[in-house]
Structure 1
Amino acid sequence: MISALVYGDDGVSAYEETALDAARDADGTTWVRTTAAEEFERVAEAFGVHPLSVEDVRNDARPKAEEYDEYTFVVVRVATLRAGEQVFEEEVQTRPVGLCFGDDWLVTLTRRELEPINYVWNAIEREEPRMLRFGPDFVAYRVIDRIVDEYFGLLDEVGEEIELIEDIILEGPDPEVLEGLNAVRRDLLSFRKTVWPTREAVGVLARGDPDYVRESTEKYYRDVYDHLVELVDLTETYRDLARGARDIYLNTLSQSTNEVMKTLTVVATIILPLTLVVGIYGMNFDPGASAFNMPELGWAYGYPATMLGMALVSAVLLVYFRRESWL
């Protein structure tokens, strides 16, 4: 689908897909957007957009900013968290946005409708029609700024997941928690691959390197650049938190294993002397054959004395282990 907005002397006028040439030739500042990949070539041909720019959007190229003879080309990515079927299965999903802007026109190329572009588009139609008066580079800034603002919301969701995982870890180790931590770390790595090149691309615009970024707009791009620097720092912070939560999980699991091993050791230590006594008196030597063959077997109190001795040994060991805080 192709649609266009033109800001002229009479305000903002909307053009449908069939009036693409009229929108291109209209006096004023023009913004044309397409949300279907099959329409890219048509829009590109109408505004002289190089095929390489179209190819970058089709192939989901990394964020970047490039200068062409007739326009400036910028690729950024809209990032969202896609919910999974299980807990902690959210996944960062990115979609490319191509922005081409010249002296008095802006073209946005996307493969589907995206909220940041719809937000700015609706703002021009309903609330801020004069936004186009500030030039296509300013409208491109508003789109990029909206995309970057949504990055903060995504990081907030990831941060809440990390806090939830930490609370679960404190209650006790759970294999599902480790899967969740690995998923969060993958999300942060994927997000980092989006934010870092976006910062570089916006940095090019903030310095005013492209000819089609006016000096009056550079300060706005510098503001977006500052936000991206903050996002990079937050991403690294959350990666450290996720790494720390993973270490806490492994330490908690190790401590739990140690507690089990300690309990088993105490039980084995108590049973060992009892097993020794039972083993000795289970050899069945005949006392009648020799005076040295377990004469106590003929003692009337031999069995009670043996049981009492075994009980005393167990009691002494239990008291010792409790004093040593093993129990």
Structure 2
Amino acid sequence: MYDKLYHNLPVSEALEEEEEVDLFDYYYDEPGSLPGTLNIEEDADPPSIVLIDYSETTATRVQLATPEACVPYLDSESVSWIDVQGLGSEDVLQRLGKVFHLHPLILEDIVNVPQRPKIEDYKDQLVIIAQMAMLNEQEDSFWIEQVSFVVGKHYLLTVQEEPEHDSFEPVRQRIRHNRGTIRKHGVDYLTYALLDGIIDGFFPILEVYGERIDQLEDEVVTNPTRKTLEKIYRIRRELLALRRCIWPQRETCSKLMRDISPLIRPDVQIYLRDCYDHTIQVIDIIETYRELTSGLMDVYLSSVSNKMNEIMKLLTVISSIFIPLTFIVGVYGMNFDHDASPLNMPELEWYFGYPACWALMIATASGLVYFFWRRGWFENVSSLKDE
């Protein structure tokens, strides 16, 4: 039955180029605005409501046309996962709030994105705000999207900003093919599985950033340029954005793991320890990468300074060789008249004066080159050729 009703969600074939988004914004209310005011963005996708209802023996997936269609599933004995994708209709969202009896402040946090990750207990409902990061393989970057959880006794409501991509597909496949023990547990285990998917979604992103940092290390040492500096700043900025996403979620996992809530059973709290451990691991990796990028900045400045020093040393060597030659030709370029006084440069009338002048300049230049070579200056200057 599940195979007939389950269909893959539509995936966009190509990603359009978008302007750079400020990764550090959080939503704030306009001064004097009423509590519970919803602000719908003009380019937001219209809501799509997908229901996955399952038990240990059966599982179905249906596309719901209206929020009111969720009512029969709210008190059923099976687990009902209502996934709302898109925030583009205030009417649908208001009706959704009435169906699930959401407090106006809950609905405000769900719709007015982005909010800081947090958890709030409303007696018969548990509200979790999380930030989901997904890898953008086309640009070696990532997307950030808010996901809101409303945990009830027999249902889980999730609200996403966009329908194009999320980190929940492995969980959907586990439900569909009855892999693992997910269909043997309740709503709290489903919440854990989705939170775990969100946190694990950070690891592929960090793997890409690790490779980028390795490449930058080679670039900084061999051929640092202005473009290298821009790359370092971009990575530092994006790592800081990832840190702002995952750091508050550590507190969320800690609260779910330690606080006693009738909606989270003790056996599921044990699984939440794994979420907490993964969160700490992600934070540690991010902090390590941030320290590496700070070190890359120091190495970049040192490499540029060393490169400049080598260039100045090369120019000093060339100048040191030509300064005595310039003195020699300057002296013999004054053209004093020997007939006026025997002291006025008698060398001007020598038969071999011109070859003698050349021999003196060659001997002087050769002597300086030999002196610099013995001091080891040319070994350092020759390293410029490798760059």
Residue identity in the other structure for 2:72? A
- How much has 1:51 moved relative to structure 2? 2.5
Residues 257-268 of structure 1 aligned to structure 2 (within 5 Å): 257-268=308-319
Contact kept, 8 Å, 2:117 with 2:249, in 1: the verdict is yes
Report the counterpart of residue 143 of structure 1 in structure 2.
194
- How much has 1:211 moved relative to structure 2? 4.0
**Which structure 1 residue ranges, 5 or more long, are not aligned?**
none
- How much has 1:216 moved relative to structure 2? 1.7
Within the candidate set 90, 99, 105, 1:46 is matched to 99
Contact kept, 8 Å, 2:141 with 2:205, in 1: the verdict is no
Which aligned runs of 4 or more in structure 1 are off by greater than 6 angstroms? none
Contact kept, 8 Å, 1:4 with 1:33, in 2: the verdict is yes
Residue identity in the other structure for 2:304? L
Cα distance in 2 for residues equivalent to 1:301 and 1:5: 104
Within the candidate set 164, 171, 177, 1:120 is matched to 171
Cα distance in 1 for residues equivalent to 2:180 and 2:311: 69
Correspondence 1:34 to 2:81:
no
Contact kept, 8 Å, 2:79 with 2:187, in 1: the verdict is yes
Cα distance in 2 for residues equivalent to 1:8 and 1:178: 54
- How much has 1:218 moved relative to structure 2? 0.8
Residues 45-194 of structure 1 aligned to structure 2 (within 5 Å): 45-58=98-111, 59-82=113-136, 90-113=140-163, 114-128=165-179, 131-194=182-245
Cα distance in 1 for residues equivalent to 2:287 and 2:74: 44
Deviates more, 1:211-220 or 1:111-120: 111-120
Contact kept, 8 Å, 1:5 with 1:23, in 2: the verdict is no
Q: Kindly tell me: are residues 232 and 98 of structure 1, through their superposed partners in 2, closer, same or farther at Cα, counting changes over 3 Å?
A: same
Residues 147-296 of structure 1 aligned to structure 2 (within 5 Å): 147-296=198-347
Deviates more, 1:259-268 or 1:302-311: 302-311
Residue identity in the other structure for 2:229? L
Cα distance in 1 for residues equivalent to 2:56 and 2:134: 38
- How much has 1:132 moved relative to structure 2? 5.0
Q: Kindly tell me: are residues 9 and 277 of structure 1, through their superposed partners in 2, closer, same or farther at Cα, counting changes over 3 Å?
A: closer
- How much has 1:47 moved relative to structure 2? 1.1
Q: Kindly tell me: are residues 9 and 77 of structure 1, through their superposed partners in 2, closer, same or farther at Cα, counting changes over 3 Å?
A: closer
Secondary structure at 2:134 match in 1 = strand
Secondary structure at 1:116 match in 2 = coil
- How much has 1:13 moved relative to structure 2? 4.1
Cα distance in 2 for residues equivalent to 1:146 and 1:291: 99
Deviates more, 1:136-145 or 1:253-262: 253-262
Deviates more, 1:43-52 or 1:11-20: 11-20
Contact kept, 8 Å, 2:140 with 2:208, in 1: the verdict is no
Cα distance in 2 for residues equivalent to 1:12 and 1:50: 30
Contact kept, 8 Å, 1:66 with 1:72, in 2: the verdict is yes
- How much has 1:287 moved relative to structure 2? 1.3
Q: For residues 94-116 of structure 1, give each alpha carbon's deviation from its aligned partner in whole angstroms, at most 9, with x where no partner exists.
A: 10000110222210011223432
Residue identity in the other structure for 2:342? A
Quote the sequence identity (%). 33
Secondary structure at 1:213 match in 2 = coil
Contact kept, 8 Å, 1:74 with 1:99, in 2: the verdict is yes
- How much has 1:2 moved relative to structure 2? 1.0
Correspondence 1:11 to 2:24:
no
Cα distance in 2 for residues equivalent to 1:5 and 1:282: 97
Secondary structure at 2:52 match in 1 = strand
Q: For residues 244-282 of structure 1, give each alpha carbon's deviation from its aligned partner in whole angstroms, at most 9, with x where no partner exists.
A: 223223222222221111111000011111111111222
- How much has 1:209 moved relative to structure 2? 4.3
TM (norm. structure 2) is 0.78
Deviates more, 1:107-116 or 1:234-243: 107-116
TM (norm. structure 1) is 0.91
Cα distance in 2 for residues equivalent to 1:170 and 1:73: 49
Residue identity in the other structure for 1:153? P
Contact kept, 8 Å, 2:257 with 2:272, in 1: the verdict is yes
Which structure carries more helix by proportion? Answer: 1
- How much has 1:152 moved relative to structure 2? 1.0
CA RMSD across the alignment: 2.1
Deviates more, 1:38-47 or 1:63-72: 38-47
Q: Kindly tell me: are residues 244 and 28 of structure 1, through their superposed partners in 2, closer, same or farther at Cα, counting changes over 3 Å?
A: same
Contact kept, 8 Å, 1:11 with 1:129, in 2: the verdict is no
Secondary structure at 2:120 match in 1 = strand
Cα distance in 1 for residues equivalent to 2:55 and 2:167: 24
